[in-house]
Structure 1
Amino acid sequence: MSLFKKLFGSKQKKEASGTGADERGKFMPEIKLPTDEKFTINFKKNGGKFLYCDSLEEIHECFNNILSENNWTKEHICCLDPKLNDLFKKYKFSNSNNCHNATLLLSPCENLVADNGAILISSNQIKESKLNDLPDNFIIFATTSQLVDTIGEGLRGIKNKNKNQIPTNITTIKHFSIQEEKDFLTYGSSSKNLYLLLLEDL
């Protein structure tokens, strides 16, 4: 699966094929997009910022670029996940149950949901914190193997992985522009300025 090629593939190839949606009749069945492509389209439509990486070196490089672009330092960052703390150990993040004073949360997730471009998270990542109590800025670290088609598929996966103790506080983030909170269509949802660092692992 090469998400990068799908995102930045050759324009000429697309133009030459001439099988655009406009040329299909309105009663033709909808073309079923691959999971990764569908997620990319919906995630970007939701306002998320997407960085695809082939290696951990690229992940660290993109992470540094995000920090410098926003003038964030390690003092601004909260990371509640021990494995992620280890992966980014050179930064020496604050690893506490309280992220109230942080500007940014670095976190893994349960799944990336293709049909609505959402990020599925649980108490495994954010403990018992409510989304509103966490910083407005998120950097989510995920791998391509975490892509699922639907929330239902993601929930089944969580249940299968955590048979002894199913996590609580399961929720999705699907609005990635802070100003959207003022829109009545997103009332009651928590918008986050969200970057996704996606590592190819398939």
Structure 2
Amino acid sequence: MSNTSRDAVLARIRQGLAAGPAPLPPRPDFAAPVHPPLNNPDIVVAFAESFQRVGGEFYYCESLEQLAVQLAAFQERQQVGPPYVWESDLQAVLQAAGIEFLADEADFIANADLSLTSCEALVARTGSVLVSAATESGRRLSIYPDQHLVLARPSQVVAEIGDALRVMQERYGAQQLPSMVSLTTGPSRTADIEKTLVLGAHGPRRIALFLLEEEENNG
């Protein structure tokens, strides 16, 4: 290194030392929320937007009559028969709406094109559906069929994943949580092989949610 270059380097070092230590970065606000506010202050609307953004199909039903119409239209578009429904509470709702369903497990493996289950909670932030093995649907109805339908109520929508997990703890107790709890975010998909997106690789290739207004609003 020439004296000129050496002198220039030393001059920059002296200049830097004379300026004193670099300022510390600002102290983070640990009390501030981790996530920004939801895009919509109405968490039900925010969930619907997030759910559709991740590939889910959303249907709002003000009444049992609308549920029957929407579900029939879905079955006609997808060319599928009645859904398998194993939860007694859901069966009662569908019976009241005049909707046909399959209540037993006869030929389930061969004919599991469509299922309908309840859920534990709906997460507005991510558009996720929280399901568990605690319901009469067990593990299979939300995973095995080609298309998964969910029937939920607006009161089940929460803002964040943490809120949904707290709902589970309050419902079952921290020591009695179901053996399987799953956050379903859109249809099952993978791009592991040559970056080609494949739907239905590890579960249903389509998920649709029917949000039915609370019972007191249905008459």
- Report the TM-score, using the length of structure 2 for normalisation: 0.66
Using the alignment, how far apart are the partners of 2:172 and 2:130 within structure 1? 15
Return the match for 2:191 from 160, 182, 193. 182
Partner of 2:123: 113
Where in structure 2 are the equivalents of 1:144-163 lying within 5 Å? Answer: 144-163=154-173
Residues 1:47 and 2:55 are matched in the alignment: yes
Structure 2, unaligned runs of 5 or more: 1-34
Offset of residue 31 of structure 1: 5.2
Using the alignment, how far apart are the partners of 2:154 and 2:147 within structure 1? 22
Offset of residue 59 of structure 1: 0.8
Structure 1, unaligned runs of 5 or more: 1-28
Which protein is richer in helix relative to its size? 1
SS of the residue aligned with 2:109?
A: coil
Q: Do the aligned residues in 1 keep the contact of 2:54 with 2:127 (CA within 8 Å)?
A: yes
Offset of residue 30 of structure 1: 5.2
Partner of 1:66: 74
Residues 1:173 and 2:184 are matched in the alignment: yes
- Report the TM-score, using the length of structure 1 for normalisation: 0.71
Aligned Cα RMSD in Å? 3.0
For residue 81 of structure 2, what is the amino acid of its counterpart? T
Residues 1:100 and 2:114 are matched in the alignment: no
Offset of residue 46 of structure 1: 0.5
SS of the residue aligned with 1:78?
A: coil
Partner of 1:124: 134
Offset of residue 200 of structure 1: 2.2
Using the alignment, how far apart are the partners of 1:97 and 1:159 within structure 2? 34
Using the alignment, how far apart are the partners of 1:190 and 1:48 within structure 2? 14
Q: Kindly tell me: are residues 137 and 53 of structure 1, through their superposed partners in 2, closer, same or farther at Cα, counting changes over 3 Å?
A: same
Using the alignment, how far apart are the partners of 2:185 and 2:81 within structure 1? 26
SS of the residue aligned with 2:209?
A: strand
Using the alignment, how far apart are the partners of 2:170 and 2:107 within structure 1? 29
Using the alignment, how far apart are the partners of 1:80 and 1:38 within structure 2? 30
Q: Do the aligned residues in 2 keep the contact of 1:39 with 1:113 (CA within 8 Å)?
A: yes
Using the alignment, how far apart are the partners of 2:141 and 2:84 within structure 1? 15
For residue 69 of structure 1, what is the amino acid of its counterpart? R
Return the match for 2:146 from 116, 136, 144. 136
The aligned length equals 169
